[in-house]
Amino acid sequence: MKRIIAQARKEITQVWRDRLTLTLALLLPLLLLALMGTAISLTVTDLPIVVQDLDKSPASRAYIDAFRSSLTYRIVEMPNDEQPEQSLLSNRARAAIIIPEHFERDIQRGNDAQVQILIDASGGHGGGKGRGGEIIFGGGGGNCGNCLGGFDRRYHADIFGVDPALKCEVATPDRS
C-alpha cells in the first residue's frame, strides 16, 4: 500500500509542476462535454410512415393530421392496391398506421376505437423483435404515450372528446 501512495504522490507532484498538463487535464473533459452536448442530437425527425384509412371520416382525418403536423413523422403515399406491410418490407416506410372502419362511430359511442400500428423493428434499435411488431391502441384511437413517439394524451380528449387515459396492447406476430 505504501508503494501505491508513493506513486500517486509522485504523479500528483509532476502534474502540479507541469502547468500545461494540469490545464489539459482540467479543460479537455469540459471542452469535450460541451462539444458532444451540442453536436449529438437524439431527436428523431422525418420518420416515414404510411396510413391506410379504412374509415375515411373527419375523425380519422384529424387523427392522420396529428401525425402529418408532427416534425417526427412524414406521411408517404401508399398505392391503393398495396397493403401497408408491403411498404414496410420494401423499406418505403418505418411504420404503418391502419385506421379501421367505424373509427369515428366508436369514438362517438365512447367505445375504444382501436388503431393498428405496424412498426419495422428490423434496425439495430429494434430490440431483436424482427419485422413489424403490431401495436394496437385503444381509448379513442390514441397513443399510449410510450410507443411510436407518444402524442400528447390531451390531444385526444380535445379533438375526439374521449377520456385521455389510453390503453395499449402490444402483440408480436409469430414469424416462424
Q: Both 65 and 100 in a single domain? A: yes
The answer, yes or no, to whether residue 117 has pLDDT greater than 70, is yes
The answer for residues whose C-beta is within 8 angstroms of residue 64's C-beta and 6 or more apart is: 51, 53, 75, 97, 99
What pLDDT is attached to residue 144? 40
Q: Both 7 and 91 in a single domain? A: no
| 176, part of any domain | no
Mean pLDDT rounded to a whole number for the chain: 74
Tell me the residue type at 71.
L
What would the grid cell of residue 168 be?
395499449
| 66, part of any domain | yes
What would the grid cell of residue 46 be?
422525418
Percentage helix, strand, coil, to 5, in the chain?
Answer: 40, 20, 40
What would the grid cell of residue 115 be?
388503431
| 149, part of any domain | yes
Tell me which of 80 and 174 has the higher pLDDT. Answer: 80
170 touches 133 (CB < 8 A): yes
What pLDDT is attached to residue 123? 63
Tell me which of 166 and 28 has the higher pLDDT. Answer: 28
| 128, part of any domain | yes
Tell me which of 150 and 104 has the higher pLDDT. Answer: 104
What pLDDT is attached to residue 159? 39
Q: What is the CA radius of gyration of the chain?
A: 26
What would the grid cell of residue 68 be?
402529418
d(CA 51, CA 36): 36
| 126, part of any domain | yes
Q: Both 25 and 70 in a single domain? A: no
In the chain, how long is the greatest CA-to-CA distance?
80
The answer, yes or no, to whether residue 48 has pLDDT greater than 90, is yes
3-state SS of 70-133? CCCEEECCCCCCCCHHHHHHCCCCCEEEEECCCHHHHHHCCCCCCEEEEEEECCCCCCCCEEEE
Q: Both 71 and 125 in a single domain? A: yes
62: containing domain = 47-171
What's the pLDDT band for 130 if we cut at 50, 70, 90?
A: very low
What pLDDT is attached to residue 153? 37
| 51, part of any domain | yes
> Could you give the number of structural domains in the chain?
2
**How many Cβ atoms are within 10 Å of 176's Cβ, its own excluded?**
3
